[in-house]
């Protein structure tokens, strides 16, 4: 049996090492909504703490946490009546290390806005497949669906993103007359 102090120390070390990466994933899933990302991450960390004896036995603790984070996001998105607090200011930036998406703020805004247009499942598929680089089978396992569903959701999501982002990312050169 794992002692409380030992469990707390292991969990604290895990959170200290991986919170920043998990928060970036949550921000992508929440399409840039920092408050929602923090809520989903907090729900995930609570679930991980409560079930730490199972998490610690996992071959890939971070993978387990990402799966839990994705499930928390999808579960929260399914709720018919979400009660949410609105913040009036942004949380302190840079607390979790550098965000690679911050390199081009204009492009980041476009991508986040395009992600926000996707449904929660399509957004989860895009984040898992293209940001986390999971294969189709692993994405299906994380989401609890078939590989065919992942493929169709991904195709629809990418079609939407291309139509929304195509001109912004690859502008068509003006013809000279």
7-60 per-position pLDDT tens digit: 899 999 999 999 999 999 999 998 888 999 999 999 999 999 999 989 989 999
Look at residue 170 in the predicted model and tell me its pLDDT: 54
Q: What is the 3-state secondary structure (H, E, C) of the chain?
A: CCCHHHHHHHHHHHHHHHHHHHHHHHHHHCCCCHHHHHHHHHHHHHHHHHCHHHHCCCCCHHHHHHHHHHHHHHHHHHCCCCCCCCCCCCCCCCCCCCCHHHHCHHHHHHHHHHHHHCCHHHHHHHHHHHHCCCCHHHHHHHHCCCHHHHHHHHHHHHHHHHHHHHHHHCCCCCCCC
For 117-168, what is each residue's pLDDT tens digit? 888 889 999 999 988 888 999 999 888 899 999 999 999 998 988 888 876 6
Determine what percent of the chain is predicted with pLDDT higher than 90. 45
Q: Is the overall model pTM greater than 0.85, yes or no?
A: no
């Amino acid at each position: 049996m794992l002692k409380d102090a030992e469990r707390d120390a292991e969990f604290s070390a895990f959170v200290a090492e991986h919170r920043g990466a998990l928060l970036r994933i949550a921000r992508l899933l929440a399409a840039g909504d920092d408050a929602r990302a923090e809520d989903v991450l907090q729900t995930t960390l609570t679930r991980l703490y409560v079930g730490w004896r199972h998490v610690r036995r996992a071959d890939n603790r971070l993978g387990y946490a990402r799966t839990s984070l994705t499930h928390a996001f999808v579960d929260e998105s399914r709720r018919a009546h979400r009660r949410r607090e609105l913040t009036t200011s942004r949380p302190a930036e840079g607390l979790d290390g550098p965000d690679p998406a911050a390199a081009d703020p204009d492009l980041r805004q476009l991508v986040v806005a395009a992600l926000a247009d996707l449904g929660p499942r399509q957004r989860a598929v895009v984040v898992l497949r293209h940001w986390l680089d999971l294969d189709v089978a692993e994405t299906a396992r994380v989401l609890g669906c078939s590989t065919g569903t992942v493929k169709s959701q991904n195709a629809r999501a990418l079609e939407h993103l291309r139509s929304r982002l195509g001109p912004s990312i690859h502008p068509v050169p003006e013809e000279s007359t």
